[in-house]
Structures are given as C-alpha cells and as structure tokens.
Structure 1
C-alpha cells in the first residue's frame, strides 16, 4: 500500500509556496513604492499591494521594510517591469507580467516555458489588445446580492456579475475606481473575499483534451517562475485540463 507525503513534506511544500507568494508581493510593493512614493494614502497601487500582503498574512514589519528599501531608506534591489506576450497551443493568448533584476534571465525562462509546452513567444502588442484591465472584487456564495449591487453602483462600479452555478458575485470596476469601490464595500460591512486589479479577455478560446493539458501545464509553469508576477490567458479549459 502506497504512502502519502509526510506531514513534514506537506509543510515544506506549503512553506515554499507561501515563500513564493511573499516574494511576488514584496516585489510588487517595492515597484509601487518606488514609482509612486511610500505613502499608501496617496499611492493606490501601493495600497492595493499592501492589502494583498496583509491578506496573505504578511507581517507589517516585512511590508514596511519593503517600502523603506524601495524609497531608499534601506539598501535594496531595483526591479524592472517587463511584459511578454505569446500564444499557447490551440491559439490561446497569454500575457506574462514580470518584475526582474535580470532581463536576460527572465526572457530566457519565459521563452523556454513557451517552447517546452508547444507555444511561442510573440511581439509586444501581439495579444494585449484582446484583454482589458479592470478591478475585480469577489464575494462568496450567499452574499447579499441586492446590498452589494446598491453599494457598488453608488460607489462607481461598472458592473455586478452573479454566477448562477454557485451564487458567487464579482463587482467589476475601472482601475481608477477600484480603491474607492473597495473602501465603500468594506465601510458598508460587506467583506470582500478577494480583490485585485487584473486583465480579462474579451472572448475566451475553448480548448480540450491534450491541448487543454498542455495549456494548463504552460500556465502553471509560467506562474511558478520566480520573476513572474501574473499570468493572464483567454483559455477556456475543459474539465480534463488538469488530469
């Protein structure tokens, strides 16, 4: 009879995953603080990054140290924002946003990933036009749809989407309105389960079978790269994608 992973093994895997999440958030905090200053009150991008850190149980000391490094109070690494675009198998469009201190390493890693799973790296702008940037505030099934809708629209949200499968709710905003809408929801006593500024495709591309599995592997591989912050695609993956 086979044995599953040990408790220690699972803990090490969880710690490694948590470490990667922290690394990505710290880089985002650093770039946001360097670009817009260390005061989250006047820097919406920094405020969003800090909220993400707190949501991941990152300590305030770690967050403050990252801000101080970015603003020059402490010595730190300077990261550069780079975006790569390409196609996965099945004509699936992919955007890869990176923060790196070594562009040569990063582009090599990203190009290798696309090639390994049957995709190809494209030129700047080759797929970005298929996506739009927006804020998304997600609420768990069972949340008060009417109340969320009223508060969201009053605060300047663009749309409220209710998913019939489980009743989960997404409030969609422009990037500029994201912080204000999030603050309004919280002030109204409506806890946000997840909040982010992201990219969503205007139209999804359905893929199935082996193609879907290759696409899923590529997206997971890219997301696991140290220099990659976010991966966006227009893939509509079938149920067997992670088989």
Structure 2
C-alpha cells in the first residue's frame, strides 16, 4: 500500500529507482577499479582502459565523487577494504562453458553465491583452467542448445550478470 499522500506514492517509486541506480553504480565502480588496476594509473590520459569505462559511467550519470572514490580505492588511497579479482569457471546445462570475472571484498561470500547460482540452474563450478582452455582454440567451439537446457542456461547467465560482484560473464553458447 502506498498510503494516501502524494509523497507516499512517490517515495516507493523513488526507492525502486534508487535501488536500480545503486546497483548500476556499484557495477561501474568495480569496472573502474579493474580498469585502474589493469592500466596502472588513475589518469585518463595515461590509461585507455579507464577512459572507456568513464564514458560508460558518464552515460549512466554516475556522480563524480563515486568515480573518484573508486579510483582512489584502486590506487590504495584511504585505507579502505581491498578488492580482489577472482575468475570462476564452470559448466552450465548442456555442457556450456562459462567464465566469470568478479571483483569482491569477500571471496568466500562471492564464491558461495556463484556456486548456489550454478546449483540452482543445473550447472557445476569447475576447477581453474577447466573452461579457459576453450578461449585459446581458434575458432572457439560454440554450443548450440534447444529446449529446456537453453532456457536454464539463459536464466543462469542472466542471474550471473545481475550479481553485484560479477564484472563480466563469457560463455560458448551460440547466440
């Protein structure tokens, strides 16, 4: 129930909108963190990885203080929690290989949540190297699925992409 005043109606809509924006900003902050770590600099002129992500952040109307905070965290300024990059590999329904790149401050929490996603949709988390070898094969062997397995793998990929700690998801599912 939204109540009887105009503010009661507005605040529910605003809360939903703010939650969506917060999730987008969180993902962008992790991408900025990765770009600074990868490029080695917080300067846009010296770091082409950061330049691309900042364009994405501007298009999402991310506040500049959030951007600055993410850059400072990557450079180690301010003594905040250290973020860790982790790659997970596994197989989804129908044997589709999946590689997940995460940036998290809690390795155990993220690992458990990803394992739960795989279990929920009939997949299994694999050992390091169990899927990444496929990216080295040219051309990459793509899987074509139909029926129930296709629905499950699409749901799994969508769930993984929506996770707050996951930066990117790769699979060899033929689109």
Taking structure 2 as the reference length, the TM-score comes to: 0.81
- Residues 205 and 7 (structure 1 numbering): CA distance in 2 closer, same or farther, change over 3 Å? farther
Aligned position for 2:154: 216
Query: What are the ranges of 5 or more consecutive residues in structure 1 without an aligned counterpart?
Result: 1-5, 133-200, 238-243
Pick aligned residue for 1:128 from 132, 142, 149: 132
Q: Shift of residue 41 of structure 1?
A: 1.4
Q: Identify the residue that residue 228 of structure 1 maps to in structure 2.
A: 166
- Structure 1 46/212 Cα, relative in aligned 2: closer, same or farther at 3 Å? same
How many positions carry a matched residue from both structures? 164
Match of 1:62 among 59, 62, 66: 66
SS in 2 for 1:207: coil
Distance 1:94 1:10, change over 3 A: farther
Point out where structure 2 has 5 or more consecutive residues left out of the alignment: 1-8
**Alignment partners' CA distance in 1, 2:102 and 2:174:** 23
Runs of 4+ residues deviating >4 angstroms: 6-14
Is the helix fraction higher in 1 or 2?
2
Q: In 2 relative to 1, CA 233–41 (structure 1 residues): closer, same or farther, beyond 3 Å?
A: same
- The CA deviation string for residues 197-216 of structure 1, in whole angstroms up to 9 with x for no partner, is xxxx8232111111111111
Superposition TM-score, scaled by structure 1 size: 0.60
Counterpart residue number, 1:100: 104
Once structures 1 and 2 are overlaid, which stretch shifts more, 222-231 or 34-43? 34-43
Deviates more, 1:221-230 or 1:31-40: 31-40
CA contact (8 A) 1:93 1:127 kept: yes
Please tell me whether the aligned partners of residues 70 and 76 of structure 1 are also in contact (alpha carbons under 8 angstroms): no
Greater fraction strand: 1
| CA positional deviation for 1:84 | 0.5
What is the CA-CA distance between 1:13 and the residue it aligns to?
4.2
